[in-house]
């Protein structure tokens, strides 16, 4: 099984050294955080690919050996299979929290105000849909551990497609488990349709996935240790991609890192279970919400309500030595309302399957904008 001490020499992303929370937030930080930064080990901002292959060889072998003995139709196997899945999710979450101070502060704030475990609705990843580096590269790990592929979503204007995956039904849940130690989250994975991009953008992307080689086979590992499977790009290459697709530019410098985690608001116990109240609470404490299409995104059936913060930024040093602030990740909130046929059920009898499932193109299209330059530079 994975030896976390193998990564002890890695260091956290510079963005983890500061927080965007306002002073008004401080009164809520009286309780010990349920989302502590792991220390040790520390995480590299982006490990050099050659160093990554050497340091993580044992971990990679562990992931491959464990998943090779699992049938996709068998769900999570016994004998520690679910424990291993959660350990990998824990490492992915650790990278995410170490690089995104807003997400860490918001989770602490909500946990302090609600005084109950926080459940994740879903985790999201971005990929390049070319040469095996697309949705399947990261999905393979989750389907090996019992996740089921569900619906496809298409975003023609952004030249993206996405699939979401439902968690295994028979997972063990600790009564006081928060985050990745609570109910297993849905997984949302999108990919850029590279063949539809301009020749210049295609050339850049294909060159870097070429450098990655078979790195897509270890996408989950790359996410768990916070490493790019390709080399750092030139600043001019990042800027070229950003002109055509901010999604593409984000993926070039963030790789398989978790793009966002989502708090399941209806599983909270206080008044914050209402997403409108939560949005107001978040903004009152100094955090900026994605305003694209309005702070609250509502599905046509009115049953899926979503919002998100604006992504954090961090100084990224390109291969030519230039440094520029680039977007990192953000945190989302989702409230799934009870389906009409179950509205007469007593509140205590309601389960997650009684609520609206899946995702909505209109909502997701606007949530994608959380990493856009327009949102990052917008004044609160």
Length of the chain: 380
Q: What is the pLDDT of residues 6-36, one digit of tens each?
A: 333 333 443 333 333 333 333 333 334 455 5
Residue 218 belongs to a domain: yes
Task: Give pLDDT tens digits for 129-160.
Answer: 999 999 999 999 999 999 999 999 999 999 99
Rounded to an integer, what distance in angstroms lies between the CA atom of residue 106 and that of residue 177? 18
pTM for the complete prediction?
Answer: 0.81
Helix axes 199-212, 246-254, angle to 10 degrees: 20
Q: Is residue 25 one of the residues assigned to a domain?
A: no
Average pLDDT rounded to a whole number, residues 233-237: 98
Beta-carbon contacts of 24 under 8 Å, excluding residues fewer than 6 positions away, are 284, 285, 286
| Confidence tier at 177 by pLDDT (50, 70, 90) | confident
Which band of pLDDT confidence, cut at 50, 70 and 90, is reported for residue 116?
Answer: confident
- Would strands 148-155 and 304-308 be described as parallel, antiparallel, or unpaired? unpaired
Which element (helix H / strand E) includes 207?
helix 199-212
Q: How many CA atoms lie within 13 A of 203 on its CB side?
A: 5
**28 is a domain residue:** no
**Contact criterion met (CB below 8 Å) for 97 and 37:** yes
Domain assignment present for 323: yes
Domain of 86, in residue numbers: 4-16+36-377
CATH for 289:
3.10.180.50
Q: What is the pLDDT of residue 35?
A: 56
Q: Which of 282-286, 359-363, 374-378 has the lowest mean pLDDT?
A: 374-378
What span, in angstroms and rounded, lies between the C-alpha atoms of 43 and 89? 15
Residue 31 lies in a domain: no
Q: What is the mean pLDDT of the chain?
A: 83
220: pLDDT strictly greater than 90:
yes
Residues 95-122: b if buried by 16+ CB within 10 A, e if exposed: bbbbbbbbbbbbbbbbbbbbebbbbbbb
Q: What is the average per-residue pLDDT within 255-274?
A: 97
Among 211, 232, 210, which residue's Cα sits nearest to residue 320?
232
What secondary structure does DSSP assign to 105-169, as a single string? HHHHHHHHHH-SPPBEEEEEEEEE-STT-SHHHHHHHHHHTT-EEEEEEEEGGGTEEEEEEEPPT
277 lies in some domain: yes
CB contact at 8 A, 282 and 265: no
| pLDDT band per the 50, 70, 90 thresholds, residue 174 | low
pLDDT in tens, 273-319: 999 999 999 999 999 999 999 999 999 999 999 999 999 999 999 99
pLDDT at position 73: 37
Q: How many domains does the chain have?
A: 1
Distance, CA of 340 to CA of 355 (rounded, Å):
9
CA distance 287 to 306: 16
- In the Cβ-directed half-sphere of 231, how many Cα atoms lie within 13 Å? 14
Pairing of strands 260-264, 330-336: parallel
- In percent, how much of the chain has pLDDT > 90? 73
pLDDT for the residue numbered 2: 38
Confidence of residue 82 (pLDDT cuts 50, 70, 90): very high
- On whether residue 365 sits in a domain, the answer given is yes
């Amino acid at each position: 099984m994975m030896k976390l001490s193998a990564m002890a020499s890695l260091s956290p992303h510079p963005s983890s050294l500061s927080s965007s929370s306002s002073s008004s937030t401080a009164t809520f930080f009286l309780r010990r955080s349920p989302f502590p930064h792991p220390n040790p080990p520390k995480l590299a901002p982006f490990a050099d690919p050659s160093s990554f292959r050497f340091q993580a060889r044992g971990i990679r072998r562990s992931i491959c050996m464990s998943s090779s003995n699992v049938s996709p139709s068998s769900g999570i196997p016994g004998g520690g299979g679910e424990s291993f899945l959660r350990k990998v999710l824990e490492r992915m979450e650790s990278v995410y929290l170490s690089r995104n101070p807003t997400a860490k502060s918001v989770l602490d704030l909500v946990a302090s105000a609600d005084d109950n475990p926080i459940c994740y609705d879903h985790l999201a990843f971005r990929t390049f849909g070319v040469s095996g580096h697309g949705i399947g590269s990261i999905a393979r790990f989750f389907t090996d551990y019992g996740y089921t592929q569900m619906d496809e979503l298409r975003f023609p204007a952004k030249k993206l497609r996405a699939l979401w995956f439902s968690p295994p039904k028979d997972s063990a849940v600790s009564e006081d488990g928060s985050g990745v130690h609570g109910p297993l989250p849905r997984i949302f994975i999108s990919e850029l349709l590279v063949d539809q991009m301009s020749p210049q953008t295609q050339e850049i992307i294909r060159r870097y996935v070429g450098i990655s080689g078979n790195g897509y086979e270890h996408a989950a590992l790359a996410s768990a240790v916070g490493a790019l499977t390709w080399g750092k790009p030139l600043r001019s290459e990042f800027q070229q991609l950003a002109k055509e697709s901010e999604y593409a530019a984000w993926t070039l410098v963030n790789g398989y890192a978790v793009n966002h985690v989502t708090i399941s608001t209806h599983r909270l116990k206080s008044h914050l279970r209402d997403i409108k109240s939560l949005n107001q609470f978040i903004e009152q404490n100094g955090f900026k919400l994605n305003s694209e299409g309005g702070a609250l995104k509502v599905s046509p059936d009115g049953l899926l309500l979503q919002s998100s913060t604006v992504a954090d930024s961090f100084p990224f040093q390109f291969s030519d030595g230039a440094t520029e602030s680039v977007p990192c990740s953000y945190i989302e909130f989702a409230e799934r309302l009870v389906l009409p046929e179950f509205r007469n059920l007593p509140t205590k009898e309601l389960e997650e399957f009684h609520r609206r499932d899946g995702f909505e193109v209109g909502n997701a299209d606007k949530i994608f904008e959380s990493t856009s330059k327009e949102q990052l530079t917008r004044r609160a």
